[in-house]
Amino acid sequence: MYQSQIAELKQDIIEKGGFEACKVLGSFSGIEIKGVRKLPENINQGRHHLFIDLEDYRGLDYWIQLNNKQPFYFSKPKNEAASHIDIYGSANSVRIFGTGKPEIYSQTLTELNANHTSYGHSSYYVYAVKTNSQIVTPVNEALKTIEQIEELLKHLKGLV
């Protein structure tokens, strides 16, 4: 996905913020996801992807975790969105981390749906920025366990 194709979506997020067709959960420290937009059909071209842009960053200092499993790095050329990730099903989640720096992380995006929905087509543009700010939610063991159970139930529903 080329930067020229997503320029309007990026500007819309900068001006209005907002998280389209997903939920944003949790705290962040060092990386803030500013917003998410579904890609219009003329840009999406039938793909099922997350196009993640971290302030035009490229390299291995930050990585993305999809569904609490796979790592993806910001390795795309400058003229493209920094990371392209295939998604499947309806219970996807994603979070950005600092490599070797557990104190650097973004919020978690959940309910990312690879299916065509009333929100548009099946790909998302995610815009994030590096920041010195943080909003850290106190960890409550019971709430953390409930969140993990909910994620596992969503995953199970996706398999069924």
Q: What is the pLDDT of residues 15-55, one digit of tens each?
A: 999 999 899 998 999 999 999 999 988 888 888 899 999 98
Inform me whether the pLDDT recorded for 118 exceeds 70. no
pTM value is 0.82
Mean pLDDT rounded to a whole number for the chain: 87
Contact 92, 114 (CB under 8 A): yes
Q: Is the pLDDT confidence value at 149 over 70? A: yes
| Dihedral angle, C-alpha 23, 20, 47, 158, nearest 10 ° | 30
**Per-residue pLDDT band at 139 (split at 50, 70, 90):** low
Helices (H) and strands (E) in the chain, counts: 3, 11
Q: How far apart are CA 125 and CA 103, in angstroms?
A: 25
Q: How far, in Å, are 66, 84, 108, 138, 148 from residue 142 at the CA level?
A: 24, 34, 18, 12, 10
pLDDT tier at 1, thresholds 50, 70, 90: confident
Is a pLDDT exceeding 90 seen at residue 7? yes
pLDDT digits (tens, 9 = 90+) for 54-81: 987 888 899 999 998 878 988 888 888 8
